[in-house]
Amino acid sequence: MFPAERPRRLRSSAAVRNLVAENRVDPQQLIQPLFVKEGNEDPRQIKGLPGVLQHNLETISAAVDEVLAAGVGGIMLFAIPTKRDASGSEACNPNGILNVAVRQVAAQVGDRAVVIADLCLDEFTDHGHCGVLAADGSVDNDATLTAYAAMAIELAKAGANMLGASGMMDGQVGFVRAALDEAGFKDVSILAYAAKYASAFYGPFRDAVESELQGDRKTYQQDPRNLRESLREIRLDAEEGADIVMVKPALAYLDVIREARLTVDIPVAAYIVSGEMAMLEAAAAAGLIERERAILEVLHSVKRAGADVICTYWAVEAASLLRSN
Ligand code: PBG
């Protein structure tokens, strides 16, 4: 008798396919990034990311309502200040735009979703780097840690549940953890951007935050040629007390997500970044691929690779696509 095995039986109807599906993306495990700009009169559409807006403090509250109504599990906040300086001092100003937005969103959300704030200086520095600079113009790792700790405490005071440590400075997770604990914020958790690559796929994000960066971030973000290095970064962040480790970007780094999942016993997150979204949206707009199917396919690919949590600009839309899928 040939063939003896007939795998097609389990694909013969939607019902049986749904019954045996190995992976499901749950809206509660999605994170929706949101951008807010100080003094923004009207929300601005970000180039290349259809539907992603640079909000003001009023319109962001409607966006937060949509996240809650969609049952999306987390909100990641990025803010663009009007004033930038060499040390990124607005990041530590309790009345700076990020802290104000966190306070407002945290009050609005309560315990219905996790409020995550980006813990990084790049939006606040006039040179656009993720840290402060030494006299020779290089990014000063240890001076940056002190700034991150101060920023972390302000964000915790403002009500952030979780901090996205995204700067790729050595020791940042341990340093920020100790500072939070000492200030009494033992329940504020750290989402460590453990394996963050120096990627061309951050292009549209630079527009979203109006980045001033000249040059690149290759002295702190990772070389795309490396995998083993990610495992080292992930191990270090886990040892330093990260609550969740993240891999970023996601789609070009599915192998890293896989290895991360096999390496640590804490949740693994992955961030489908702006350029990854923009590629799919551009191809769909050109009529080359079916947009909604492609979105669901990439989300499931990230899940299948091993991500427990997925950060994506499609979070709210995906929640409804997944429910009607
Ligand atoms: C830095 C940061 C970046 C992104 C998130 N946090 C940009 C960078 O490292 O240059 C990119 C996200 C995206 O492209 O969607 N704080």
pLDDT tens digits along 76-93: 999 999 999 999 999 999
Run of H or E residues at 272: strand 268-272
190-239 pLDDT per residue, tens: 999 999 999 999 999 998 999 999 899 999 999 999 999 999 999 999 99
Catalytic sites, residue numbers = 196, 248
Residue nearest to atom 9 of ligand 1 (CA): 202
- The pLDDT assigned to 9 comes to 97
| Look-up of token digits 């930038």 | 84
By most ligand atoms within 8 Å of CB, the mutation choice from 47, 122, 127, 214 for ligand 1 is 122
Contact indicator for 81, 73 with CB cutoff of 8 Å: no
| Whether pTM exceeds 0.85 | yes
The closest-lying atom of ligand 1 relative to the alpha carbon of residue 33 is 15
CB within 8 Å of 324: residues ≥ 6 apart: none
Bridge partners, 193 (sequence order): 246
The closest-lying atom of ligand 1 relative to the alpha carbon of residue 123 is 16
CA 256 to CA 232: how far, in whole Å?
Answer: 12
Instruction: State the Cα torsion 75-123-167-100 to the nearest 10°.
Output: -50
Mean pLDDT of 25-53: 96
CB within 8 Å of 2: residues ≥ 6 apart: none
- The pLDDT assigned to 325 comes to 73
Run of H or E residues at 190: strand 189-196
Q: How confident is the model at residue 1 (pLDDT cuts 50, 70, 90)?
A: confident
Q: 81: cis peptide before it, omega within 30°?
A: no
231-288 pLDDT per residue, tens: 999 999 999 999 999 999 999 999 999 999 999 999 999 999 999 999 999 999 999 9
Per DSSP, helices labelled H in 220-253 are: 228-239
Nearest partner of 160 among 187, 120, 194, judged by Cα: 187
- The pLDDT assigned to 233 comes to 98
What does pLDDT average to over the chain?
Answer: 97
Contact indicator for 122, 81 with CB cutoff of 8 Å: no
Four-residue CA torsion sign, 320, 202, 138, 242: positive
Q: Is the pLDDT confidence value at 15 over 90?
A: yes
Tell me how far the alpha carbon of residue 23 lies from the centroid of ligand 1, in angstroms. Answer: 27
CB within 8 Å of 267: residues ≥ 6 apart: 243, 244, 245, 308, 309
| Look-up of token digits 């937060």 | 64
Residue 313 Cβ contacting ligand 1 at under 6 Å = no
Residue 154 Cβ contacting ligand 1 at under 6 Å = no
Residue 202 Cβ contacting ligand 1 at under 6 Å = yes
HEC-encoded secondary structure of 32-56? EEEEEECCCCCCEECCCCCCCEEEC
Contact indicator for 310, 303 with CB cutoff of 8 Å: yes
CA 256 to CA 152: how far, in whole Å?
Answer: 27
CA 286 to CA 282: how far, in whole Å?
Answer: 6
Bridge partners, 192 (sequence order): 165, 245
Q: How confident is the model at residue 29 (pLDDT cuts 50, 70, 90)?
A: very high
Contact indicator for 188, 159 with CB cutoff of 8 Å: no
Residue 319 Cβ contacting ligand 1 at under 6 Å = no
Tell me how far the alpha carbon of residue 205 lies from the centroid of ligand 1, in angstroms. Answer: 6
- The pLDDT assigned to 324 comes to 87
Q: Which amino acid is at 272?
A: I
Q: CB-based burial of residue 32 (10 Å sphere; 0-12 exposed, 13-18 middle, 19+ buried)?
A: buried
109-165 pLDDT per residue, tens: 999 999 999 999 999 999 999 999 999 999 999 999 999 999 999 999 999 999 999
Mean pLDDT of 316-323: 97
Q: Which amino acid is at 120?
A: C
